[in-house]
Amino acid sequence: MKQRSITQLFFCSITLTVLLSSCAGSTLTSLPEPTTVSIPPSSASTIISTPTNVMQTGVWDELMNATPFPHGFPLPEPVQSPLDGTYAKLDESPPQYWTCYRCADYRPMGGIWRLQFDRGVMRVFYQITNWKSIASFSVEGNKLSIFNDPFCPQDVGEYEWSLENGNLTLNAISDGCAFDLRMENLAKQPWLACTASGIQPDGCSDAPVLLGNTSTDLPVTVIVHGGDSHYFDSPPDLFAVANKENVPSPEGIHINYHEESIPFGTHRVLWWKGDWIEATTSTPYASIGVQFWGSGYLGWARVLFDGQEVWRGLTTSIGKSLAYYGGYIEVTGFEPGEHTIRVENLGFDYRPVKVAAFGFSNHVIEK
């Protein structure tokens, strides 16, 4: 037993010696050279000179060039059906104004939806988040079958369909896709037909809406700061959160908003009829402003000071910090007295606008 242990130790010793000799014999040039990387310090926020609207142009065009994958069923023959066409709907329920990294597919949300049936291919698109899907379909009489959807590859949705004045109505027979959300979405309301000419329903086109510019001849000074003013080097002296139901406003500051605007924690979401919020004060301040802050799904707004427009733009293009978009619109250079700062959602893009707070200060804000 002792002799065997000595033998094992001898061979281990030889093996270790060979390995060490091999390593010692290696030249330095065979080793990777160390690399020094200079990393610039991160900034609290980044001013963005170009719009960061997540409604990127070309998303629908990319979907148009895509074809379904035969997940569980053969692809149908590419033949025209009686319901072939492009349709759109405007869902009036609250839109998605938050960021989620795995949102429920097909969840009915407010804003523009687009639907197309084209020779056996169904395409669905939600403009606010750029969510999209593609699937196969077949038609037999007034029965519609949907299959090969990547979000539910083994499911087959069954519907009855009807057309009236070109508008499409889908009545669900059975569809368990996405926990019944596809069925709830497609059958929620009629889909309006997109035509080659005439007045188009909202959502049929991605054509941009050209908006006028704010006058540069203003009685006040307007300063646009990208990022969250709460974390600036020299932030406002006082904040009044947009949702006064969550946190009461400081003394001397009065927040008002449309009753149909949406409460979201301390923020207020402007959408549809609930499209405005304002703050009024008679306390003498040298600087008054409003903080836009939220996800990349937010839209266009304008800011008025004492009834005059002083700024308008895409709120997500003001600035960005980490995963959040927006900035602080500051107004200075006004005389003491009662002043009102007001925000309105321009609404043409059917996107929400989220207002976080109003700021009040006796010094100019510095980032």
Domain ranges of the chain: 59-193, 221-361
CA 225 to chain centre: 21
State the CATH class of domain 59-193.
Answer: mainly beta
SS3 252: coil
**The pTM is what?**
0.79
3-state SS record for 159-197: EEEEEECCEEEEEEEECCCCCCHHHHHHCCCCEEECCCC
Phi, psi of 316 (to 5 degrees): -75, -15
Per-residue pLDDT tens over the stretch 291-345? 999 999 999 999 999 999 999 999 999 999 988 999 999 999 999 999 999 999 9
Taking only the tens of pLDDT, the chain with its 367 residues reads 444 444 443 333 434 343 333 333 333 333 333 332 232 333 333 333 333 444 456 889 899 999 999 998 999 999 999 999 999 999 988 888 887 877 899 999 999 999 999 999 999 999 888 999 999 999 999 999 999 999 999 999 999 999 998 899 999 999 999 999 999 999 999 999 998 877 888 888 765 555 667 778 899 999 999 999 999 999 999 999 999 999 999 999 999 999 999 999 999 999 989 999 999 999 999 999 999 999 999 999 999 999 999 999 999 999 999 889 999 999 999 999 999 999 999 988 889 999 999 999 998 788 8
Homologous superfamily of 221-361 = Galactose-binding domain-like (2.60.120.260)
Phi, psi of 293 (to 5 degrees): -160, 130
Q: For residue 29, with 0-12 CB atoms within 10 Å meaning exposed, 13-18 middle and 19 or more buried, which class applies?
A: exposed
Q: For residue 217, with 0-12 CB atoms within 10 Å meaning exposed, 13-18 middle and 19 or more buried, which class applies?
A: exposed
